Amino acid sequence: MIQPLDRRIIRTKQLLREALMNLIEEKGIEGITVRDLTEQAGLNRGTFYLHYRDIADLLEQSKTEMLHGLLKIHDKLNPKTGIDDNFEKKKEAMALAMFEYFADNHRFFELMLGPKGDPSYIDQMKKFLKKIHYENHLRIQPNDANLLVPRDYLIAHAISSTLGIIQHWFESGMNLTPKEMVTLVKRLAELNPLQLSGLEKSSVEK
């Protein structure tokens, strides 16, 4: 059970994170001061220093906490079976939970992965996506000798595609629901460009 003190701490950190997002959106990461932040959040400097050393510490902790949320989803829903109906269902459930998480925290991820964000966070996201794609692909095809292209190139392609889709989703104002995004990603993974363009028939139901 969350105690009143814990609730106050959580609320204080939320206010500071929201203020940080407002300032990043307004002026970018560089140049934000503790004074700017606390005035934006309606808190005093002493309260800030109870939880963070400086702006960089607040940003780093926020990035870590947001990424940790994705890792929790991965660890809970990551399919550990081989290629069967259960594997595909679990993979889709994990993808849906992640898109819902992105939607719930869209302002943070949109800013961090956008032009005013932190370039290092894109690298962290790539490492996280590499973990997911590598584990899933290794279950699909554990034998490197059967691959038509080197595994690292397959994984690099998957990472680039996934990250690009997420960024475009944010840039488009999240005009598709998380469930629609799962369907979109599945089609992109399973169909070739001609099928996706409607120039070649596929067995995937619309």
Q: What is the per-residue pLDDT for 125? A: 93
Does residue 169 sit in helix, strand or coil?
Answer: helix
Q: What is the per-residue pLDDT for 87? A: 77
For the chain (206 residues), the mean pLDDT of every run of 10, in chain order, is 72 94 88 93 95 95 93 85 72 94 95 87 92 86 92 94 95 96 92 85 58
Geometric angle at alpha carbon 114, from 111 and 117, rounded to 5°: 60
Q: Virtual CA dihedral for 71, 2, 63, 56, nearest 10 degrees? A: -150
Q: Which residue in the block uniquely carries the two structure tokens 């800030």?
A: 48
Q: What is the per-residue pLDDT for 85? A: 66
Q: How far apart are CA 65 and CA 63, in angstroms?
A: 6
Could you tell me the pTM of the whole model? 0.85
Q: Which residue in the block uniquely carries the two structure tokens 């002493």?
A: 46
Q: What is the per-residue pLDDT for 82? A: 60
Q: Which residues touch 99 (CB under 8 Å, ≥6 apart)? A: 178, 179, 181, 182
Q: In this structure, which topology does domain 1-52 adopt according to CATH?
A: Arc Repressor Mutant, subunit A (1.10.10)
Q: What is the per-residue pLDDT for 206? A: 47
| Ranges of each domain in the chain | 1-52, 56-196
Instruction: Of 23, 22, 11, 21, give the one whose Cα is nearest residue 47.
Output: 11
